[in-house]
Chains A and B, each alone.
Chain A
Amino acid sequence: DAMVIQNPRYQVTQFGKPVTLSCSQTLNHNVMYWYQQKSSQAPKLLFHYYDKDFNNEADTPDNFQSRRPNTSFCFLDIRSPGLGDAAMYLCATSRELRGALSYEQYFGPGTRLTVT
């Protein structure tokens, strides 16, 4: 089945120790998104890629970076995690054309990040 896969499902890191979360997709979608979701809160968009074009949200901390080496893979790098970065990180994909109707996003299962 076509899907969005996130690894690892659970990640524990130490305060200030860099961490990388990964996302892969078999849907061949051109747009990939990274969201941060804290307990009982709305998913908050951090950034997205339209093909290779990177779009950073204005309020995404500089501590968060992303890479998309090819269509299938996308990575979220947290350079110096703080206690406030503990959250569920969700990867999503969609197929989009600029100026066309918006299409639904397909989400991975998420990575639960704990910072100690």
Chain B
Amino acid sequence: EDQVTQSPEALRLQEGESSSLNCSYTVSGLRGLFWYRQDPGKGPEFLFTLYSAGEEKEKERLKATLTKKESFLHITAPKPEDSATYLCAVQATGGFKTIFGAGTRLFVKA
């Protein structure tokens, strides 16, 4: 069964304290792995798409990486405005079903 597990559930950082969020996945064949940011009471906002193991993408303080079993979202020198829930999602080959993880709630304190 296709599955996505994110850890930790919550992460509290001081401003400037770098860290990583984990997304472990099990899927019959990976069509794409996605990272989204979700602020309270809003819809998810797209960050990155990764397609194959070894792929990396960067945007400002965020960097996403992918292996055959997991993806990491690295946050370098976070700021309070990076506080949000970060969601990981996968689509398997053969269709458009999208499976989300429960997310990591990130709190960055000034």
Contacts and interface: CB of A to CB of B under 8 A. Distances in A.
Contacts of A92: 43-44
Given A101-B32, A102-B31, A102-B32, A107 B43 contact: yes
B101 A42 contact: yes
A45 B97 contact: yes
A48 B31 CA distance: 17
B19 interface: no
B31 A101 contact: yes
B102 A40 contact: yes
Contacts of B105: 40
B57 to A, nearest CB: 12
A60 B103 CA distance: 22
Contacts of A28: none
B99 to A, nearest CB: 7
Interface string B26-41: 0000011010100001
A105 B100 contact: no
Interface residues of B, number: 25
Nearest to B102: A42
A51 B45 CA distance: 23
Contacts of A33: 96, 98
B14 to A, nearest CB: 24
B42 A105 contact: no
A64 interface: no
B71 interface: no
10 contacts: A4-B43, A44-B100, A55-B96, A57-B97, A94-B96, A102-B49, A103-B32, A103-B49, A105-B44, A110-B43
Interface of B: 4, 31-32, 34, 36, 41-46, 49, 51, 87, 91, 95-103, 105
